[in-house]
Amino acid sequence: MDSRSKDQLLKRIARLARQNKELEEQVKKLEREKGKILEMNERYRLLLERNELPGAKTAEEEKSARYNMVTVLFADIHGFSKLVEDMDSTRIMDELDEIFLEFDKIIGKYHVEKIRSIGDTLMCAGGIPSKNITNPVEVVMAAVELRHFLKNYESGKRADDRIWNLKTGIHTGPVTASLSGKNKVSYDIKGRAVNTASRIENVSDKDSILISVMTYELVKEFFHCEYFGKLPVKYTGSIQMYRVKGLLPELSVDGRGFIPNDAFKIKFGLIQFTDIQEIILDKLERELPEFLFYHNVKHTVDVVTEVELIGWAEGCNDEEILLLKTAALFHDAGHSVSYDDHEYQGTLLAREMLPGYGYSGKQIDRICSIIMSTKLPPRPADLLEQIICDSDLDYLGRSDFIPVSNTLFEELKAQNKITKLNDWNKMQVKFISGHQYFTATARSLREVNKKLQIERIQSLITEE
């Protein structure tokens, strides 16, 4: 081999060596990328397992239920796909884990059920599994706090341009919910409301909370909203959408729009009362003894209605009306446990139940005091106690006094507390003659009729 051929061979070997080295570097790079992909896949797998997405279930494990009013929320962390390409995968997944962990806490705080989270998208719903009337407000409140948290998270992580932005779409409507699982129940929901919420999220801007007009009508008394536009919807034409700016200033701490103040809690409580009332009335229907012909569900509803009527007339504020209505709801609930000390038993039920609905310890103490004031003979210590005492004995001055009074006689007779109607009428005359209404409103409404009742009962008494 001459020197020229030898030089060409050496150059070729050197070129091949360089190419081989370059290939080795590429292989190492691919291996590193493969490791990142495998790590991300494992993170996603763990996320899916943590959220327990429903898979194939047996007929015994899965049940479906129809819900007429559920508020569905879709939230997307905008820009996530681009971040996967431009940033370190470990950092991305760590931050996403931190964000979703806090998201879970926030939606749980507002009694919102997480349906699933896949990658950068969160889906949840209010109003399942327990039906309630407050779910539109709770879901929008959760959305406001999610957005606020993400903004603070970004400002704490980096000083330059933001990485994470949240797009949110919310709609209220009927859904079909599938409940599955034996040890731990998970949920999936289907229906037009789900599809509509998803489409609203798709047209939302970053950091925007868009809600349908259906949701808007249910939350507009709590949130500052502005008109956004219309969304074409198959089969129904189009629906209007609104952008949620935040809580109304008067319902938020320092008027800043994202932390609810006491005025918000009271306004919310007045709406939430409907849910509590449904639970208690259902309990009374199931558990009250059959001999309670007077202290039945109708009497409780009458007292709840009357305390509100007299309360407004006497100039009570929103919180006082809430306390009165709650006390009226529980004042005879103790009859399901005991007849003679039912007032006290009602306070025990109130103390057990009301903390779960956001009532403060001070409010609960006040409610229990109002309940106990209805124990005969009534000795109310303040206006609220006077109002419930007047409401509880409102029938004394009503035109239907005689038939109502007879139901109370039948109730006492069933317990052998009194046996003769004539004796009962004598007791009624004595009680009514010594009774007085405490509030000016009750006196003006009932006092005249009460005097007529005495004359009517006296005419029924026979001398033995």
Considering the domain architecture, whether residues 180 and 217 belong to the same structural domain is answered as: yes
Per-residue tokens: 360: 């403060």
Cβ atoms of 384 and 363 within 8 Å: the answer is no
Amino acid at 225: C
Which of 353, 377, 376, 379 minimizes the C-alpha distance to 367?
353
Give dist(CA 141, CA 283) in Å, integer: 30
Over the stretch 51-65, which tens digit does the pLDDT of each residue have?
Answer: 444 444 444 445 778
Task: Give me the sign of the Cα torsion angle 260, 264, 265, 268.
Answer: negative
Name the domain boundary from 211, 226, 260: 260
Give the CATH number of the domain where residue 373 resides.
1.10.3210.10
Q: What is the pLDDT of residue 3?
A: 63
Give dist(CA 205, CA 207) in Å, integer: 6
Q: What is the pLDDT of residue 87?
A: 60
Low-confidence ranges of the chain (pLDDT < 70): 1-62, 78-89, 159-162, 181-185, 464
Is residue 316, in this structure, part of any structural domain at all? yes
Cβ atoms of 200 and 231 within 8 Å: the answer is yes
Considering the domain architecture, whether residues 254 and 270 belong to the same structural domain is answered as: no
Q: What is the pLDDT of residue 56?
A: 41
Name the domain boundary from 227, 260, 293: 260
Cβ atoms of 14 and 6 within 8 Å: the answer is no
Considering the domain architecture, whether residues 172 and 148 belong to the same structural domain is answered as: yes
Q: What is the pLDDT of residue 42?
A: 53
| Domain count across the chain | 2
Over the stretch 251-295, which tens digit does the pLDDT of each residue have?
Answer: 999 988 889 999 999 999 999 999 999 999 999 999 999 999 999
Per-residue tokens: 400: 């239907």
Considering the domain architecture, whether residues 276 and 395 belong to the same structural domain is answered as: yes
Considering the domain architecture, whether residues 361 and 389 belong to the same structural domain is answered as: yes
Is residue 23, in this structure, part of any structural domain at all? no
Is residue 53, in this structure, part of any structural domain at all? no
Grouping H, G, I as helix, E, B as strand and the rest as coil, residue 418 is coil
Q: What is the pLDDT of residue 97?
A: 82
Name the domain boundary from 235, 260, 285: 260
Cβ atoms of 260 and 252 within 8 Å: the answer is yes
Which of 74, 266, 250 minimizes the C-alpha distance to 171?
74
Tell me how many degrees the CA angle 96-164-245 measures, rounded to the nearest 5: 120
Dihedral pair phi/psi, residue 167, rounded to 5°: -110, 130
Is residue 58, in this structure, part of any structural domain at all? no
Tell me how many degrees the CA angle 367-369-373 measures, rounded to the nearest 5: 115
Is residue 451, in this structure, part of any structural domain at all? yes
Considering the domain architecture, whether residues 399 and 297 belong to the same structural domain is answered as: yes
Give the CATH number of the domain where residue 103 resides.
3.30.70.1230
Considering the domain architecture, whether residues 287 and 396 belong to the same structural domain is answered as: yes
The DSSP annotation for 14-46 comes to HHHHHHHHHHHHHHHHHHHHHHHHHHHHHHHHH
The overall average pLDDT reported for the chain is 85
Over the stretch 68-87, which tens digit does the pLDDT of each residue have?
Answer: 999 999 998 865 555 555 56
Query: How far are the Cα atoms of 253, 359, 387 from residue 362, in angstroms, in the given order?
Result: 20, 8, 20
Q: What is the pTM of this model?
A: 0.79
Considering the domain architecture, whether residues 219 and 298 belong to the same structural domain is answered as: no
Range of the structural domain that residue 236 is part of: 63-260
Considering the domain architecture, whether residues 306 and 237 belong to the same structural domain is answered as: no
Is residue 32, in this structure, part of any structural domain at all? no
Grouping H, G, I as helix, E, B as strand and the rest as coil, residue 150 is helix
Over the stretch 239-255, which tens digit does the pLDDT of each residue have?
Answer: 999 999 999 999 999 98
Can you give 247-265 as a three-state secondary structure string?
A: ECHHHEHHHCCCCECHHHH
Can you give 89-110 as a three-state secondary structure string?
A: HHHHHHHHHHHHHHHHHHHHHC
Considering the domain architecture, whether residues 141 and 279 belong to the same structural domain is answered as: no
Is residue 15, in this structure, part of any structural domain at all? no
Is residue 407, in this structure, part of any structural domain at all? yes
Considering the domain architecture, whether residues 441 and 328 belong to the same structural domain is answered as: yes
Question: Element (H or E) spanning 348, and its range?
Answer: helix 342-353
Considering the domain architecture, whether residues 444 and 333 belong to the same structural domain is answered as: yes
Give dist(CA 302, CA 297) in Å, integer: 9
Q: How many residues does the chain have?
A: 464
Q: What is the pLDDT of residue 17?
A: 59
